[in-house]
Structure 1
Amino acid sequence: MKQILKIIIHSLYTHPEIFLRELISNAQDALNKARIEQLTNKNFSGTETSFEIKIQVDSKTNTFSIEDTGIGMKEEELINNFGTIARSGTLEFLEELKKKGSGSEAGLIGQFGVGFYSVFMVADEVVVETKHISPNAKAYRWKSMGESDFTIEEIEKSAHGTKIYFTFKENAKEFSEEYRLENIIEKYSNFADFPILLNNKQINKIGALWRKKSSETSDSELNEFYKFITNDTEDPLGHIHLSVEGAVVNFKALLFIPKEAPWDMTKWFNEKGVHLYSNKILIQRECKALLPDYLRFTRGVLDTIDLPLNVSREFTQDGPFMIKIKNILTDKILKFLDDWAAKEPDKYKIFYSNFGPLLKSGINSDYTNRDKLIELLRFESSLKGKGELVSLKEYSMRAKSGQNEIYYIAGDSREALEKRPNMEYFRKNDIEVLYLSDPIDMFILPGISEYDKKIIKSIEKEDISLKPEEKIEKPESAINKSLLALFKEVLTDRVMDVVESKRLVDSAVTLVAGKDSMDREMEKMMKMMNKDYRSSKKILEVNMEHPVIKGMSQKYIANSSDPLLKKYVLNLYEGALFVDGELKGDMAADYVRRVNEIMEQAISSK
């Protein structure tokens, strides 16, 4: 038994501070038992004492005591509960209640009968004084060093309940400081059913709002509660109040959507914001098992009486129960956001500007809820003003007759995207293009591939579909063929192909990706992840109606061997690279030098 006790004391619990949570939990169970007995058993009327938990600590004497006005223990219960490892008086009490047809909402915590022994992590000798609530009950003192034996003696005690006291070990003196205990109480036991007094000051002043009905809570209460559990200074953007009762799971939850993401996004993205409780006692902060990663901006609490815990009650056990809770929470949060998007678009816009990148990451990780997440996506658009967002559904509903594609273009900013040559055709024909300026968009939108039977496609790919009337091929003139052949000859090792453009309006040339190639933004990200990544060759499209190209045609007719023609071709190609942000190093220097040469020749010819 001595060896088993050592295992429990030194190996079962991760943090010594847990001792206080366990003692408070035991005291809460004792108070709940007393309340139940007073309501159901006329013989246990009790005295006129109030139900509360009193804690006294003195850093000077290094002493601690915790006292409750609960049910107390008889001598045989004291021997069985404290003298027998893993015997749970609470579990036995619940079994008796079940036999009587009640007890499911008793609010009792103890399950394993080992929580009390955590006190020996911080104390060498522990004394327990107790008196049962029943009439004419005697009082007893239990004392042990937490090893192989204990002593019990009869004492005088006026009120029913239990008091536990001891002196801290040398290596546990930190817990004799009042502020340290206050922090532990607020962390683990703030929502206990009964007042917790620390050196005569009540610590747990904020109630467990998740246990109330939604109609019984005010906005001010919810805001205060949110700030308490998150340390945020701003009110939340919104909240979700849940009470789930089913055959598989039962739980209550109060979840919040923050108004702003904190400045330290790296830290935020590593946090899991929902705290897990069992009967109002904290089991795990930021429980990872409750939500998928892409919803970890959610803050709040979840409380369940059915929680499958490990013996130390510090961790949950994996299994269908936790998966079911996770699925329910995910569904409720996504439905809540969908309602915002439909009924309160301004509020959803605030949310999306802060947490959109995180939400989007679920597209490629949660295939069960993929369709729901796709409906929550928002983008800026060429048909809307700066800052206005549209959904794929809105795009599809106002697409032009016969348009079978949803078009997008990706880049660093809206301003840069609007100036891209590849936007000219779409702007001229008033065809909507989605602007993707968030880097994560490039990882998700192409992967969706289709929405509402419309193919999702980058306008910077060669195989975009134009209007039917625009597809009518005009006979290509001999001079155009020859000029394009010159482009191909000069750029033979630099491009995949050179073709006549059907999309350019104001620009002379543009570069587009091949049908099976990545577009420029995806390649840019690939280079960021792999410095050795080599971009694929692009297709150069030439606007044969542009004045510069027509001028080149005339010069070609006059003298197809004119050395300026080659310089023009190179400058047009490198100018396209410059627009794409790909003209760097020696190429940039050559480009500037060549521009100067052409200008010099043009000036001298005048």
Structure 2
Amino acid sequence: MTKEILEFKTEVNQLLDLMIHSLYSHKEVFLRELISNASDAIDKARYESLTNADIQKDGGEWKIKLSIDKAAGTLTISDNGIGMNKEEGIRELGTIARSGTMEFLAKLKEKSPDDSTEMIGQFGVGFYSSFMVADRVVLISKKAGTNDCVRWESTADGTFTVEDTEKATRGTDVILYIKEEEKEKYLTEYELRRIVTKYSDYIDYPVVMDVERQKESEIDKGKKYTVTEEEKLNSQKAIWLRDKSEITESEYNEFYKHVAHDFTDPTKVIHYKAEGTTEFTALLFIPSRMPFDIFYKDFKYGPMLYVRRVQIMEHCEELIPQYLRFVKGVVDSSDLPLNVSREILQNNRQIEVINKNLTKKVSDSLSDMKQNEFDKYLGFYKQFGRILKEGIHFSYEKRETVADLLLFSSTATETGKYTTLKDYTANMKEDQKDIYYMTATDFEDAIHSPYLETFKEKGYEVLILLDEIDDMIFTGFQYGDKDFKSALRGDITLDKAKEEEKKESEKKYKKLLDLISTRLKGDVKEARFSGRLKDSPCCLVGDEGAMDANMERLFRSMGKDVPNTKKIFELNPTHPLIEAMNELFEHDQKSEKLPKYIDMLYNQALVLEGSRPKDSQLFASMVSELMVKDMKST
């Protein structure tokens, strides 16, 4: 049998270096990770055995076994799961084939030692945690249903060896050669029993260990002899099938960490049994922190799907809508067939019923938290509000339910405070027809924006939306009988007096307005007088259905092609600057100053909407020139 010496990929080397040379205070999580890996391997073998008779015959009772050899200084974690062949051993243990590896390494370096060990499972690198307590790791594995076996070994020196070998039964043995300073702790029955009870009591398969016990001789009374017996260390009963009254908060928290690969406790536990035409048990968790990769294209979401305690899918996306993809947990159905496939799920009536049931249960739980535990809900919303609001865009029938869960900053709230759509509509002025909003990147900048001057004068509350996707989500949205209307787009006039004022100004300054339109013909769609300005001289607005400026900047930053649509240049007819420009125009229609002042106004409008001036250098020089003139005149 030929032994191959191979090098780890760069990111694995970096990871191993962190594992070995950093000081961790919770090294014991290595055992949790290896037992979880063994449980996953048995899940896969158990599922495949439903249709593969060769797997059914090989391996006996499903179980995970811990074996201590104090003479050799080894701890072995064995399972009779799916196993690996040589190619899989090289692929799975020589690389980290999961997106976000570099992000994980960066985050691992940022964390304190206490937090770092708890992050290990989150990124699918649990196997490598072995090197926190072992200076040599040997893995012997046989692929279920075949005779393919592999022996993998490494001392974390940058290389690993693989070779063909022999193994009597399917599954994997992970043999840890425990470091000298760790032997007293991790080669003792008591410590291993404690760790299993703490982290893996709920594992669906027996975690066993051979233990020595003193027994009294039945023949020679008074004398004792030593026997070795295999003893189960975990309770094994699936936590989601237990009665809620029997489960402690710490048990829920540990199970959540197991299924979510998270190191923090969940914000909310949802545990219930649905009965009726479709029966299932659900144990769901609302996390307290956002996964680093939740916005990645290949992010996998959805609860684990079990059918009569057999795991069918690790991530069943059909069970939960995408805007609730942060929800973790388990759903166990007694109605679905064991051989259910993803294709069958997509058109399965029972799955639709479960999906609707879970969606309502999660929505109701969030609503209850918002109503009765607002501080906790606020913490959740700061993490997941951006994801939750996607439901308005992607789920038409649930959009008002989702809308009632959202929190908004507004011109009527203080910094860090929030309102709801229910409160907003209850506080609307009698003559107010629409719900007004403004997209922005900063709350303080937004509330001082010239776009809101008339709204403030009328006492109309305006929602300040700070996420880049907000305009796409709320454009065209209707809450109750109230339309959402952007303060940055369209021709807004809030009262008849303003409308009459605009008409009079259009007559009075018609020639000046024509000059401005001609001067800026290449830059703006048109120049017109505004009904939204009170103190500022000008602003740029989009057409009613145009893309928001913040959205344009977002798409451009992503390298997307954005149509170059022209904005509307709005002028304040009551501003002294317009009167002064008109006087100059009437005195000398060919004045060289007029084009400069028009350009100056346009650049000012660009700055106010958050864009760069058309000609930054020219704009700066003109501002300097005006400052000099003003200072000399005083």
TM-score computed with the length of structure 1 as normaliser: 0.67
Between the aligned partners of 1:264 and 1:551, the Cα distance in structure 2 is 56
Unaligned runs of 5+ in 2: 1-36, 50-60, 81-141, 150-164, 178-191, 212-230
| Aligned-residue offset at 1:544 | 2.6
CA contact (8 A) 1:52 1:196 kept: no
Amino acid paired to 2:208: L
CA contact (8 A) 1:19 1:118 kept: no
Whether 2:254 is the aligned partner of 1:224: answer yes
1:416-431 alignment runs, 5 A limit: 416-431=445-460
CA offsets, 1:113-137, max 9 Å, x none?
xxxx98543689xxxxxxxxxxxxx
Whether 2:570 is the aligned partner of 1:541: answer yes
Between the aligned partners of 1:278 and 1:179, the Cα distance in structure 2 is 34
| Aligned-residue offset at 1:522 | 3.2
Amino acid paired to 1:461: R
Match of 1:407 among 419, 436, 458: 436
CA offsets, 1:583-606, max 9 Å, x none?
25x622232233344556667778
Whether 2:234 is the aligned partner of 1:204: answer yes
Whether 2:605 is the aligned partner of 1:576: answer yes
Match of 2:617 among 586, 589, 593: 589
Report % sequence identity. 32
1:434-513 alignment runs, 5 A limit: 434-448=463-477, 450-473=478-501, 475-476=504-505, 479-513=508-542
Between the aligned partners of 2:368 and 2:377, the Cα distance in structure 1 is 9
1:470 to 1:206, Cα distance in 2 relative to 1, 3 A: farther
Amino acid paired to 2:254: E
CA contact (8 A) 2:64 2:205 kept: no
Amino acid paired to 1:458: S
CA offsets, 1:152-171, max 9 Å, x none?
xxxxxxxxxxxxxxxx8359
| Aligned-residue offset at 1:367 | 2.7
- Tell me which structure has the larger Cα radius of gyration: 1
Match of 1:121 among 146, 169, 173: 146
Between the aligned partners of 1:372 and 1:484, the Cα distance in structure 2 is 47
Helix, strand or coil at the partner of 2:522: coil
CA contact (8 A) 1:239 1:256 kept: yes
Matched residue, 1:169: 166
Unaligned runs of 5+ in 1: 1-14, 28-50, 67-116, 125-167
Helix, strand or coil at the partner of 1:533: coil
Between the aligned partners of 2:550 and 2:575, the Cα distance in structure 1 is 27
1:603 to 1:259, Cα distance in 2 relative to 1, 3 A: closer
Amino acid paired to 1:121: T
Name the count of aligned residue pairs. 468
Between the aligned partners of 1:17 and 1:215, the Cα distance in structure 2 is 26
Whether 2:244 is the aligned partner of 1:244: answer no
Matched residue, 1:92: none
| Aligned-residue offset at 1:381 | 0.8
Between the aligned partners of 1:356 and 1:524, the Cα distance in structure 2 is 22
Between the aligned partners of 1:534 and 1:393, the Cα distance in structure 2 is 36
Between the aligned partners of 1:308 and 1:179, the Cα distance in structure 2 is 39
Whether 2:586 is the aligned partner of 1:561: answer no
Matched residue, 1:98: none
Between the aligned partners of 2:39 and 2:207, the Cα distance in structure 1 is 17
Amino acid paired to 2:316: C
CA contact (8 A) 2:474 2:484 kept: yes
1:323 to 1:25, Cα distance in 2 relative to 1, 3 A: closer
1:42-191 alignment runs, 5 A limit: 55=65, 120-121=145-146, 169=166, 175-177=172-174, 191=202
CA offsets, 1:101-122, max 9 Å, x none?
xxxxxxxxxxxxxxxx985436
Helix, strand or coil at the partner of 2:270: strand
CA contact (8 A) 1:310 1:316 kept: no
Between the aligned partners of 1:22 and 1:559, the Cα distance in structure 2 is 86
1:193 to 1:412, Cα distance in 2 relative to 1, 3 A: closer
Whether 2:547 is the aligned partner of 1:518: answer yes
CA contact (8 A) 1:479 1:553 kept: no
CA contact (8 A) 1:283 1:315 kept: no
Helix, strand or coil at the partner of 2:475: helix
> RMSD of the alignment, in Å?
4.1
Whether 2:330 is the aligned partner of 1:301: answer yes
| Aligned-residue offset at 1:380 | 0.9
